[in-house]
Amino acid sequence: MSDGEGLVIVYTGNGKGKTTAALGLSLRAIGYEHKVCMLQFIKGSWHYGEMDSSKKLGPNFELIAVGKGFVGILDDNSPREEHEKYAAEALKICREKIFSEKYDVVILDEVNYAINLGLLDVKEIIKLIKEKPEKLDLVLTGNHAKEEIIELADLVTEMKEIKHPFKSGIKAKKGIDF
């Protein structure tokens, strides 16, 4: 178990490193045999390296993809209701994991995007933050974190883009970006 009160940690901002920071924190926690669950609100059909990391890191790291490729929500073919249905299911899984008492750290990766798209109600997330088990460290990522969430958080870091290779035409790199 982690020592002391659990923290609410937010990684936001337009620079790269939000999910990477959450993964780095996981690696550190797993070193102490802490149990980590990362719930990834999926933004598309991409495959990310961390999806396979749990097989290598052992049972202390669990990664679950939730939601439904919402990045294309505005122009994809599935009706909005379908996205909403998946988001509601995702929230249910988040609740289950958070209140299971099985984990020391729970990460809601890209949750801020799902909120900003209106797929998740910020009030539901606020409720989760307020009711979470005391010792649990809860991490939320995604740009444009809502003010209400920032207010409740203990730690907020804004990644700020200074340079990103994408702007020089360099494509996303395996092992770095995905």
Residues that bind ligand ATP (CB under 6 A): 14-20, 110, 141, 143, 159, 161, 164, 166, 172, 177-178
Tokens found for residue 96: 């289950």
Cα–Cα dist 119/11, whole Å: 20
DSSP classification of residue 1: -
Q: By three-state DSSP, how is residue 140 classified?
A: strand
Number of residues that bind Mg ion (CB under 5 A): 2
Tell which one of 12, 19, 26, 60 touches Mg ion (CB under 5 A): 19
**Under rule CB under 5 A, residue 12 binds Mg ion:** no
Beginning with the edge strand found earlier in the chain, give each strand of the sheet holding 105-109 in spatial order. 61-66, 36-41, 105-109, 137-141, 8-12, 155-158
Structure-token match 């299971």, residue found: 100
**Binding window for Mg ion (CB under 5 A); candidates: 7-15, 19-27, 129-137, 145-153:** 19-27
Number of residue whose CB is nearest Mg ion: 19
**Binding window for Mg ion (CB under 5 A); candidates: 13-21, 30-38, 67-75, 111-119:** 13-21
Q: Which is nearer to Mg ion, 16 or 35 (CB)?
A: 16
Closest CA to 78 of 68, 67, 87, 88: 68
Q: Which is nearer to Mg ion, 18 or 83 (CB)?
A: 18
Q: Which is nearer to Mg ion, 19 or 26 (CB)?
A: 19
Contacting residues toward Mg ion, per CB under 5 A: 18-19
